Structure 1
Amino acid sequence: MRLLRIVPDGTRFKIVRFRRFSYPFSAAYSLLVLFLFLTVGLNFGIDFRGGTLIEMQAKSGKPEIASVRATANGLGFGEAEVQEFGSGGEISMRFALQPGGEVAQQQVVVKAREAFSATYDFRRVETVGPRVSGELVQAGTLGVVLAIIGVLIYLWFRFEMQLAIGAILGTLHDIVLTMGFFLITQLEFNLTSIAAILTIVGYSLNETVVVFDRTRELLRRYKTMPIPDLLDLSVNSTLSRTAITSTTTVLALIALVLFGGTAIEGFALVMLFGVVVCTYSAMFISTPVLLYLDVRAGVSRPEGAEEKVAAGAKS
């Protein structure tokens, strides 16, 4: 019985050639990310900003956003952010952090219930004080930094220096592009977003290790093969595995986006973007970097290894 092959055997895509397009694209995207970070900034959620988040659902009919916004602004807690989400008449309201501590935050909830409980069901209420939000910012930032440092240390010891540099650049590239997704879409950046970034770092690491392991193996086997052909061969030989992994992951994430509900929709969207970025990065960013590094010098060769040239590698 013949096994299913998403990518046919003997595929010989010239992956390395696409660096002429992938590098300028990633460079322009990175500059856009830097510009947006300095001018627009991240849309921090209540976890990091502090304040009160209230999600409501209309008991009947379609919610009137303008009316809700006017009523919320008239409660005396400053300008409220009101927006509709989902397809079932759901509304979210965000109130800024109020002076007066925990009592002031609870007063926001009390007044909101008095104003909207007749026509709306309260589905979710979250209150975060200034001290808690500050601690969450510090803990979240420290967690991401330590995780990235740990990954970089692992890559440095996992591969020879040349391969490690390529893997590190690829991982940092994926983090920058993911942050760009938050900046462009203005998706709420909260603790769930931190979890998504750390998951993407792990996925990026997995994709890079698979390709670079094959690259190192081929470097030891084919000592005279030109580096561009060898890099193309390493990507093509792992392309079937990459296609299967990415496809199944994307299908699962699409299901989460469509049917997982609002609680995990943001996480699933970021992960969906991250899987595409990590696959793109492993093939078109990390691997072509090795063209500019002396990868043969860093890979030890077993004694007595036969020098063979892959048939049709240059075809």
Structure 2
Amino acid sequence: MCSVALILAGATAFYIRGERNFGVDFRGGDLVRMSAPNKIDIGQVRHALSAIGFADASIQESQQGGKSYITVRTPINTSEKVEKQIMQSMPSAGLTVEGSERVGALVGGELARSSLIALGLGILGILIYVTFRFELSFAVGATVALLHDVLITIGMFALLDRELSLPIVGAVLTIAGYSIYDTIVVYDRIREGLASGRKGSIEQIMNDSINQTLSRTLLTSGCTLIPICCLFFFGGAVLRDFALAIIIGVVVGTYSSIFIASPIVLWWTRARGRSTVALRREVTEKATTTASPLARR
């Protein structure tokens, strides 16, 4: 119920915010180009922009013809505000405005469509691989857990009034990889328990297998969170949203690998009208078939 509530709340917030969910990379914005006779301190520029709420603006630096140039990318209709703020905050830098223009989104429709196709093919690949190595019910559970993690992460960004940008897209793909890896580790221990011929119901064996991997799962997640939290607190405004997305994804991914993926396996098995005995037999047969070539060597 907690997951459903978070997904619904995130979807509602995402719908209400509309275009405000997307950053400059998706919506386009203003591009301001400035020059100075000496090297421009990017840290000072970012500090100046933080006063008007653009601390995470994209800033590029270059050298040409003995001059130092910076290019600042900010939301639409903010170029004049940005120019004025930088000039007033850095009077001794000798800055000159070379020009400003409105630019389109970095993520066009074609790229967004290609990304969705790639994500769909990735999910299909996961379904095929997990079905081959385990069983279809396990593949469905892994896919649901992956989508659960991605949707909650994006929903939390909407609830926290954060914008989606290109780094966040990378963070979401990282979360997807982490989620499926953590789930497969739990599944592998469940398969070992089922194939070992251990007595007890499939529910009990799954529960015991999850408990056996619980310490490993929590330690892995904890060790992952330590550097990401450092990045969040000390990495600056540019990396803060990226780190936040990874933090949310790791926490939610740990939760889903324990409480979402395995129950979905049982639910899907029963929804198809199959018994847990048949599931156990098929998993055992696949485990034996996979292990037999190694046993013959």
2:152 to 153, 161, 177: 177
Residue 195 of structure 2 contacts residue 284 of structure 2 at CA under 8 Å; is this kept in 1? yes
Runs (5+) with no aligned partner, structure 2: 33-41, 57-71, 270-275, 289-297
Relative to total residues, which structure has the larger helix share, 1 or 2?
Answer: 2
2:37 aligned with 1:43: no
Alignment of 1:168-207 (within 5 A): 168-207=143-182
Runs (5+) with no aligned partner, structure 1: 1-23, 66-81, 87-91, 98-107, 304-315
What's the offset of the Cα at 1:215? 0.3
Q: Hey, what does 2:226 align to over in structure 1?
A: 251
Provide the C-alpha distance between the structure 1 equivalents of 2:54 and 2:186, rounded to a whole number of angstroms.
Answer: 43
Provide the C-alpha distance between the structure 2 equivalents of 1:64 and 1:267, rounded to a whole number of angstroms.
Answer: 18
What's the offset of the Cα at 1:37? 3.0
Question: TM-score, length-normalised on structure 1?
Answer: 0.66
SS at match of 2:250: helix
Compare 224-233 and 30-39 and name the one that shifted more: 30-39
2:103 aligned with 1:129: yes
Higher relative contact order (CA 8 A, sep 6+): 1
Provide the C-alpha distance between the structure 1 equivalents of 2:147 and 2:100, rounded to a whole number of angstroms.
Answer: 33
Alignment-mate amino acid for residue 298 of structure 1:
E
Deviations 1:63-109 (A, max 9, x none): 896xxxxxxxxxxxxxxxx42659xxxxx984427xxxxxxxxxx75
Q: Hey, what does 1:234 align to over in structure 2?
A: 209
Alignment-mate amino acid for residue 240 of structure 1:
S
SS at match of 2:53: strand
What's the offset of the Cα at 1:132? 4.3
Alignment of 1:3-18 (within 5 A): none
The Cα RMSD (Å) is 3.4
Q: Hey, what does 1:225 align to over in structure 2?
A: 200
Alignment-mate amino acid for residue 35 of structure 1:
T
Alignment-mate amino acid for residue 84 of structure 2:
A
Provide the C-alpha distance between the structure 1 equivalents of 2:75 and 2:105, rounded to a whole number of angstroms.
Answer: 17
2:76 aligned with 1:96: yes
Deviations 1:261-309 (A, max 9, x none): 2222111110011000000001111122233323314313478xxxxxx
What's the offset of the Cα at 1:174? 1.1
SS at match of 1:52: strand
Instruction: Detail structure 1 runs of 4+ shifted over 6 Å in the superposition.
Output: 56-59, 61-64, 125-128
Distance 1:131 1:191, change over 3 A: closer
Alignment-mate amino acid for residue 17 of structure 2:
V
What's the offset of the Cα at 1:201? 0.5
Distance 1:132 1:196, change over 3 A: closer
1:296 to 274, 280, 283: 280
2:9 aligned with 1:32: yes
Distance 1:50 1:149, change over 3 A: farther
Once the two structures are aligned, what percentage of the paired residues are identical?
A: 35
1:118 to 77, 87, 90: 87
Provide the C-alpha distance between the structure 1 equivalents of 2:214 and 2:43, rounded to a whole number of angstroms.
Answer: 46
Provide the C-alpha distance between the structure 1 equivalents of 2:84 and 2:182, rounded to a whole number of angstroms.
Answer: 52
Provide the C-alpha distance between the structure 2 equivalents of 1:31 and 1:206, rounded to a whole number of angstroms.
Answer: 26
Distance 1:36 1:155, change over 3 A: farther
Q: Hey, what does 2:67 align to over in structure 1?
A: none
Question: TM-score, length-normalised on structure 2?
Answer: 0.70
Equivalent residue pairs, number: 245
Residue 48 of structure 1 contacts residue 136 of structure 1 at CA under 8 Å; is this kept in 2? no
SS at match of 1:83: coil
1:209 to 184, 187, 190: 184
Residue 178 of structure 1 contacts residue 274 of structure 1 at CA under 8 Å; is this kept in 2? yes
